[in-house]
């Protein structure tokens, strides 16, 4: 327990978390601080490329083991099942309509790639290695949750759902984040450590600095969401935003242990299962379930669950993974 | 200078619906349109600002097109089928153009 507290304290005073806190505080105080849209987009491209590339290099370096296919399958199953649990919890804990609950549930089955990036940074800083292919697992977990949410709505009569058309399926599967993450993963896998050595001064050294600035921007967005969407956060909704990531993390922990992943791999699967999407799924929900309330799902995933995971969740998940796999930094 | 009567249709819609709307407009015979960025605003769904959006999910764009008056109904029907259940505004104004054959 002492180790958990010291890990949490260490995480809380890291430049990454403090940058995020600065963004939230500035936004809540109505400061005019803002990161230009193009800069934020550039930073997210950089982070996705770097994390995908490094994952690919790790796979090239250590080789592909038989767990890769199982881990991908587990990711897809988790992404499809977590919305069903989230939906049931929402119906019990909040008075949300079926449509809103399904839309929110989709976010909790899919993943937050920024939480994943921050998680890998926490693992790196503690010297904990993880399977490089977890990047591919992250990409595989983006979309199945959307199908589960649409099924939940269809099961209730389908009112409010526009369903999936070919354009939407293409937009989800070829979402820029997925293409970049998977593409850079394959580039890293093809070029290996030699390729990494060639561009490491660009994608390794500046990584944490860029992550700090990106999280400053995320803090500004989260703070703005809290300021504007605060009135929709009933105690039940607020509680769900904290309970659901813990439920997801525990299911991720069980899955990681069953798969026999390393300590870092288990921690990353917990982080993926605990996180909620705020990029791919909101866009899909606006198209497929336009009558669901976007303030609800964006405020919950970005204003409550993302900060919770970033500050308290990540060190907790790492400590739990270490305790149950017997791994140490 | 001789001018010709035309209709200017302005559709402010969620960015994610842009390609669906422009596809519907093309299907309705619209030969030209302009897409403009929208920096922020406020409406029934609340206040929003373009800066710091993490995705296109909550951004807006404006699609503007100028057409001959007799083609207005067809365009509005096509556009409405796309924007009906989404956040946005559709407005129509009378205008004059110099080269009628272009619209």
The confidence score (pLDDT) of residue B52 equals: 53
Contact B51 A35 (CB under 8 A): yes
Answer whether A221 sits within 8 Å of B20, measured CB to CB.
no
pLDDT-based confidence at residue B101 (cuts at 50, 70, 90): confident
pLDDT score for B54: 57
Residues of A whose CB is below 8 A from B57: 279, 282-283, 285-286, 294, 298
Is the model's pLDDT at A210 over the cut of 80? yes
Give pLDDT tens digits for B31-55.
Answer: 889 999 888 887 776 667 766 555 6
- What is the model's pLDDT at position B50? 67
- Residues A155 and A116: their CA atoms lie apart, in Å, by 32
> Quick one: tokens of A100?
């809103």
Give the pLDDT confidence score for residue B1 in this predicted structure. Answer: 83
Distances (CA, A) of A122 to A81, A111, A239: 27, 18, 26
Per domain, the residue ranges of chain A are: 2-21+35-221+231-325
When mean pLDDT is compared over A80-84, A147-151, A226-230, the highest value belongs to A80-84
ipTM field: 0.72
User: Span A2-21+35-221+231-325: which CATH code?
Assistant: 1.20.1530.20
What does the pLDDT read at residue B46?
Answer: 67
User: A37 to chain B, minimum CA–CA distance in Å?
Assistant: 5
Do residue B55 and residue A217 have CB atoms under 8 angstroms apart?
Answer: no
Residue B31 has a pLDDT of 82
For residue A40, the tally of other CB atoms under 10 A from its CB is 22
| B47 at interface of A, judged by CB pairs closer than 8 A | yes
Look at residue A151 and give its three-state secondary structure: helix
Say which range, A98-112, A161-175, A227-241, A278-292, has the weakest mean pLDDT: A161-175
The answer for residues whose C-beta is within 8 angstroms of residue B4's C-beta and 6 or more apart is B96, B97, B98, B99, B100
pLDDT of B58 > 70? The answer is: no
Q: Which residues pair with B66 in a beta bridge?
A: B8
Of residues A258 and B31, more confidently modeled: A258
Do residues A144 and A80 make contact, with C-beta atoms less than 8 angstroms apart?
yes
Name the residue with tokens 């976007």: A294
State whether residue B19 sits within 8 Å of chain A by CB. yes
Among A9-23, A159-173, A215-229, B4-18, the minimum mean pLDDT is found in A159-173
- Give me the pLDDT at residue A237, please: 93
Mean pLDDT of chain A: 89
Q: What is the mean pLDDT of residues A201-230?
A: 87
Q: For the segment A11-43, what is each residue's pLDDT rounded down to a tens digit?
A: 778 898 899 999 999 999 999 898 887 888 899
CB A218 to CB B20 under 8 A? no
> Quick one: residue A210, left, alpha or beta (phi over 0 = left, psi -120 to 50 = alpha)?
alpha
Residues in chain A: 329
| Closest chain B C-alpha to A35 CA, distance in angstroms | 6
Query: A5-16 burial, b if ≥16 CB within 10 A, otherwise e?
Result: eebbeebeebeb
pLDDT score of A64 more than 80:
no
Q: What is the pLDDT of residues A129-185, one digit of tens each?
A: 899 899 999 989 988 999 999 999 988 776 666 666 777 788 777 878 888 989 999
Enumerate residues 6+ apart whose C-beta is below 8 A from A309. A112, A115, A245, A271, A274, A275
DSSP state for residue A155 in the 8-state scheme:
H
Q: How confident is the model at residue B16 (pLDDT cuts 50, 70, 90)?
A: confident
Least trusted range by pLDDT, from A7-11, A28-32, B75-79: A7-11
Nearest CA in chain A to B86: A290
DSSP of A4-46: HHHHHHHHHTSHHHHHHHHHHHHHHTT------HHHHHHHHHH
pLDDT of residue A169: 80
pLDDT value at residue A198: 94
pLDDT of residue A91: 94
User: Contacts of residue B14 in chain A, CB cutoff 8 Å?
Assistant: 286
Q: Look at residue A98 and tell me whether its pLDDT is greater than 90.
A: yes
Of A20-34, A83-97, A220-234, A296-310, where does mean pLDDT reach its minimum? A220-234
Q: What phi, psi does B62 have (nearest 5°)?
A: -120, 130
What is the reported pLDDT for A154?
Answer: 87
Cα separation of A270 and A75, whole Å? 11
- Answer yes or no: is pLDDT of A256 > 60: yes
Please judge whether B52 and A291 are an interchain contact, meaning their C-beta atoms are less than 8 angstroms apart: no
Place of tokens 């390393």: A262
The closest CB to that of B58, out of A162, A291, A294, belongs to A294
């Amino acid at each position: 327990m002492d180790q958990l507290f010291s890990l949490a304290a260490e995480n809380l005073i890291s430049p990454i978390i403090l940058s995020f806190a600065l963004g939230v505080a500035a936004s809540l105080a109505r400061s005019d601080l803002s990161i230009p849209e193009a800069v934020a987009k550039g930073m997210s491209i950089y982070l996705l490329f770097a994390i995908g590339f490094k994952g690919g290099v790790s796979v090239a370096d250590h080789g592909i083991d038989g767990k890769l296919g199982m881990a991908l399958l587990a990711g897809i199953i988790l992404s499809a099942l977590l919305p069903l649990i989230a939906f049931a919890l929402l119906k019990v804990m909040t008075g949300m309509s079926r449509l809103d609950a399904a839309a929110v549930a989709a976010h909790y089955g899919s993943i937050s790639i920024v939480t994943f990036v921050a998680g890998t940074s926490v693992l790196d800083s503690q010297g904990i290695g993880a399977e490089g292919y977890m990047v591919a697992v992250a990409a595989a977990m983006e979309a199945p949750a959307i199908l589960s949410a649409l099924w939940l709505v269809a099961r209730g009569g389908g009112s409010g759902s526009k369903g999936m058309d070919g354009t939407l399926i293409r937009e989800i599967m070829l979402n820029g984040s997925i293409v970049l993450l998977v593409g850079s993963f394959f580039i890293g896998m093809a070029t290996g450590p030699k390729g990494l050595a060639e561009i490491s001064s660009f994608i390794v050294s500046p990584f944490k600095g860029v992550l700090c600035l990106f999280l400053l921007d995320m803090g500004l967005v989260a703070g703005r969401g809290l300021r504007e969407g605060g009135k929709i956060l009933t105690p039940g909704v607020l509680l769900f935003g904290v309970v659901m990531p813990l439920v997801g993390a525990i299911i991720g922990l069980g899955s990681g242990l069953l798969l026999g992943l390393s300590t870092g791999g288990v921690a990353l699967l917990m982080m993926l299962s605990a996180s909620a999407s705020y990029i791919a799924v909101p866009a899909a929900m606006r198209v497929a379930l336009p009558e669901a309330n976007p303030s609800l799902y964006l405020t919950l995933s970005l204003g409550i669950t993302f900060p919770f995971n970033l500050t308290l969740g990540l060190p907790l998940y790492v400590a739990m993974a270490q305790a149950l796999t017997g791994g140490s930094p | 200078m001789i001018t010709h009567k035309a209709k200017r249709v302005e559709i402010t819609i969620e960015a994610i619906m842009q390609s669906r709307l422009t596809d519907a407009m093309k299907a309705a015979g619209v030969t030209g349109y302009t897409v403009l960025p929208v920096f922020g605003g406020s409406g029934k769904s609340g206040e929003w600002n373009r800066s710091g959006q993490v995705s296109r999910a909550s951004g807006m764009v404006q699609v503007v097109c100028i057409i001959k008056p007799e083609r207005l109904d067809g365009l509005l029907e096509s556009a409405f089928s796309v924007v009906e259940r989404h956040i946005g505004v559709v407005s129509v104004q009378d205008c004059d153009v110099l080269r009628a054959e272009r619209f």
